[in-house]
Amino acid sequence: MIASVLPTYSRAPMTFVKGEGSWLIEADGRRFLDLGAGIAVNALGHAHPALTEALTDQAGTLWHTSNLYHIPQQQALADKLVDATFADTVFFTNSGTEACELAVKMARKYWYDKGQPDKVDIITFSGSFHGRSSAGIAAAGSEKMIKGFGPLLPGFTHLTFGDHDAIAPAITDATAAILIEPVQGEGGIIPVPDQCLKGLRDLCDERGILLILDEVQCGVGRTGKLFAHEWAGIEPDIMMVAKGIGGGFPLGAVLATEEAASGMTAGTHGSTYGGNPLGCAVGCAVMDIVTDPDFLAEVNRKAGLLRQKLEGLVASHPDVFDFVRGSGLMMGIKCKVTNTDVVNAGYDNDVITVPAADNTIRLLPPLTITDSEIDDAVARLDKAATCVVP
């Protein structure tokens, strides 16, 4: 008999009933150090007082009105995002994949309104992940995600990640945009080098096409900058955001320049829930914290500490681990044994990591993790590694 919850997930054996900062707690009181943060969602840890206050205050005032009316919290969050980034304008969604939908629609509408309706094609890269909607799976194009789901949304060209020479020749008169994650998340925490992001920006400028960045996982302070592309000193035309921006409340956004957004006039797109008062009240509280330069300086300092300790961990378990890669508090450890064996051994030692592609385990701790929790985390991973039989 089918489970009452559609069985699309293979779940780990834990059930959490409470969260506190970097910790997840089961009903019997067992505490796990959470280096997954709900897949980079709980950017400020669990039950952060400022987020709890923002959410409960708003919950006692007004939950939902729809986008038929003005929403002050939505306006405030859009202003904060515009102030802090390249963007001139923001549309709010409830998830990353909805942000992908709009990013694709926006790029196509841009060219349509410019009198070039044939420019619909979007170049994407192997190993990428852009969500599970029809546009998201077509964009990523991996067999695992698309198989069995019928005709794909057309208009995506898939290139091999890292094959620089293939990019320029793949741009045709039908190309609307290039879409890329500055740090691949699901793909195994693989950063795009700054030089390559610069090269992509230059190529888009030369060929007059749009650059869309998917910062759903790597954005919102995760890499030590508010958004990961800032390390490369470039700006996209369109950017997808979600995960960390809501700190655990479902919230996403598409940020864009005035030019790139020029086709999106009244009536061209919408969402019943997107940008609702609850989500945006929490989003404002997240932004107030993560845009503080002192907060980001701390993320960078702690990232250095974590990286150094992980290098040590890898060196002491050469049969289990291969190497560390990543950016900021978005770390991947490529494994020599099966990555899920390491993740499971972590569970046995009360530490949570997240498997990713390319036989990698992901460490995406709350950005608020403390130095002593970093010590503790690496000690637990060290124990876990000892339990894994190479």
Give me the least distance between CB of 320 and ligand PLP, in Å please.
26
What's the CA gap between 254 and 89, in Å, rounded? 8
In sign, the C-alpha dihedral spanning 181, 187, 189, 190 is negative
Among 123, 204, 216, 306, binds ligand PLP (CB under 6 A): 216
| Closest by Cα among 267, 271, 268 to 280 | 271
214 part of the interface to ligand PLP, by CB under 6 A:
yes
The residue within the footprint of ligand PLP, chosen from 22, 58, 85, 95 (CB under 6 A), is 95
By the rule CB under 6 A, 241 interacts with ligand PLP: no
**Cα–Cα distance measured from residue 294 to residue 307, given in angstroms and rounded to the nearest whole number:** 20
Q: CA torsion, points 219, 221, 225, 226, in degrees to nearest 10?
A: 70
The answer to whether the CB of 222 falls within 8 A of the CB of 228 is yes
Q: Which of 19, 21, 45, 96 binds ligand PLP (CB under 6 A)?
A: 96
Among 77, 242, 296, 333, binds ligand PLP (CB under 6 A): 242
State the minimum distance, in angstroms, from the CB of residue 149 to ligand PLP: 16
> How far apart are the C-alpha atoms of 92 and 328, rounded to whole Å?
26
Q: How far is the CB of 142 from ligand PLP (least distance, A)?
A: 13
Residue 185 is a binding residue for ligand PLP (CB under 6 A): yes
Using the rule CB under 6 A, is 156 a contact of ligand PLP? no
- For the beta carbon of residue 338, count every other beta carbon within 10 angstroms: 12
Q: Is 104 in the site for ligand PLP (CB under 6 A)?
A: no
229 versus 243: smaller Cβ distance to ligand PLP: 243
Give the interface segment with ligand PLP, choosing from 5-13, 162-170, 181-189, 319-327 (CB under 6 A). Answer: 181-189
Positions in 40-59 near ligand PLP (CB under 6 A)? none
How many residues in the shown chain lie near ligand PLP by CB under 6 A? 15
Among 130, 201, 309, 380, which residue sits at the site for ligand PLP (rule: CB under 6 A)? 130
User: How is residue 262 written in tokens?
Assistant: 């020029």
Of 349, 350, 351, 358, nearest to 323 by C-alpha is: 358
Query: What residue number has its CB nearest to ligand PLP?
Result: 96
Nearer to ligand PLP, 21 or 250 (CB): 250
Buried/exposed 243-270: b ≥16 CB within 10 Å, e otherwise: bbbbbbbbbbbbbbbeebbebbeeeebe
- Is 143 exposed, middle or buried, given 0-12, 13-18 or 19+ CB atoms closer than 10 A? exposed
Find the binding residues for ligand PLP in span 131-150 (CB under 6 A).
131
Kindly state the helix (H) or strand (E) to which residue 19 belongs, with its residue range: strand 16-20
251 or 337: whose CB is closer to ligand PLP? Answer: 251
360 binds ligand PLP (CB under 6 A): no
Q: Based on the shown chain and the rule CB under 6 A, indicate whether residue 217 belongs to the binding site for ligand PLP.
A: yes
Please identify which residue in 86, 129, 227, 231 interacts with ligand PLP, judged by CB under 6 A.
Answer: 129
How many C-beta atoms lie closer than 10 Å to residue 294's C-beta? 7
In sequence order, which residues have a C-beta less than 8 Å from that of residue 345 and are 6 or more positions away?
A: 384, 385, 387, 388
* Nearest CB to ligand PLP, comparing residues 74 and 95: 95
Contact set with ligand PLP (CB under 6 A): 95-97, 100, 129-131, 181, 185-186, 214, 216-217, 242-243
